[in-house]
Amino acid sequence: MGGQGLFLSAADLQLRRGEAVADTARVFSRYLDGIMTRTFAHADVEELAQHATIPIINGLTDWQHPCQAMGDLMTIREKKGRLAGVKLAYVGDGNNVCHSLLEAGAKFGVHVAVACPPGFEPDPAVVARAQSDAEAHNGRIEILVGNVEAAVVGADAVCTDVWASMGQESEAAAKAAALSAYQVNGSLLALARPDAIFLHCLPAHRGEKVTDSDMDGPHSAVWDQAENRLHLQKALMALVM
Ligand code: NVA
């Protein structure tokens, strides 16, 4: 789009030498037209946005993954021709991806059904906000603890994510033990609509959260979903910068 991209890893930033996030925001606001940032702590993105005078795009935090959710909704609309009334089943950890799908889906009238094991539920504050948006936009929010089948039955789209997110590597074994019954495989997808699409924001750990035959099978929309991140983020930059 005629811009110039600049990638700065953690090692390239003065943050690593103790500079305050607010000061980094002030300096970059003098150099750049916008920042997409991928942090761990959500509070860091909020602090960056609070002190910057340029647009800050959340490229993933431990709490939210909004660009992914918007790309996912774009993919569903592309495949199903609509969003209102579409049933989206999210299966797995009530994590950043789950949170953003709940919030974004509710705003577009999607029926978002989340299946997770006890102890892995999405943040109640996110669920409450999604419930209230769903009421306003004729959407529906369901959190089905321990009932993966109910979430997937009749779904137009089935989505899952990694069991251990970035920064949770030390919890990987415990999460795998709790979430192994939440693998998306052929028998689970058979409960969805025959024309259901399968979504995964990647990276996919084949054989764990999802089987090879589902990543590469007729339901899979994961490569279009990956491509749509590109288009969605271009649109987002055009909108805010
Ligand atoms: N929930 C995952 C998403 C990866 C794009 C994570 O935070 O690592």
For a ligand 1 pocket test, name from 114, 162, 175, 199 the mutation site with the most ligand atoms within 8 angstroms of its C-beta.
Answer: 162
Taken in order of first residue, the domains within the chain and their CATH numbers are 10-61 (no CATH), 66-227 (3.40.50.1370)
pLDDT at position 120 is 97
* 97 alpha carbon – ligand 1 mean position (Å): 7
The mean pLDDT value for 151-169 works out to 95
pLDDT for 211 beyond 90: no
- Cα 60 to middle of ligand 1, angstroms: 7
**Contacts of 59-63 spanning 24+ positions with Cβ under 8 A:** 60/96, 60/166, 61/96, 62/96, 62/165, 62/166, 62/167, 63/96, 63/99, 63/123
Which pLDDT belongs to residue 130? 98
Gyration radius of the chain's alpha carbons: 18
**At 127, is the secondary structure helix, strand, or coil?**
helix
Q: Which residue has the higher pLDDT, 157 or 15?
A: 157
Task: Identify the pLDDT of residue 208.
Answer: 82
| Mean pLDDT score of the chain | 96
* Residue whose tokens read 């953003």: 100
Q: Nearest C-alpha to atom 2 of ligand 1 is from which residue?
A: 165
Atom of ligand 1 nearest to the CA of 62: 7
Residue located nearest, by CA, to atom 1 of ligand 1: 165
Model confidence band, residue 214 (pLDDT cutoffs 50, 70, 90): confident
Residues carrying an active site annotation? 38, 65, 68, 161, 201, 229
Mean pLDDT of 150-175: 95
Burial class (CB in 10 A: 0-12, 13-18, 19+), 40: middle
Contact 192, 89 (CB under 8 A): yes
Q: Ligand 1 — pocket residues by CB below 6 A?
A: 60, 65, 95-97, 161-162, 165-166, 201
Give the tens place of pLDDT for each residue, 106-144: 999 999 999 999 999 999 999 999 999 999 999 999 999
65 CA: nearest ligand 1 atom = 3
The pLDDT score that the predictor gives to residue 165 is 93
- Chain-centre distance for alpha carbon 169: 18
Ligand 1 centroid to Cα of residue 30, in Å, is 31
Percentage of the chain beyond pLDDT 90 is 92
Amino acid identity for residue 118 in this structure: P
Taking alpha carbons only, the member of 121, 173, 111 closest to residue 141 is 111
Tokens for 83, please give them: 């969003």
pLDDT band at 5 (very low <50, low <70, confident <90, very high): very high
What span, in angstroms and rounded, lies between the C-alpha atoms of 75 and 72?
5
| Closest atom, ligand 1, to C-alpha of 161 | 1
Rounded Cα gap, residues 92 and 113, in angstroms: 11
Pick the closest to residue 223 from 211, 215, 231 (CA basis).
Answer: 215
Q: Does 45 have pLDDT greater than 90?
A: yes
* H/E run at residue 115: strand 111-116
pLDDT interval class at 213 (50, 70, 90): confident
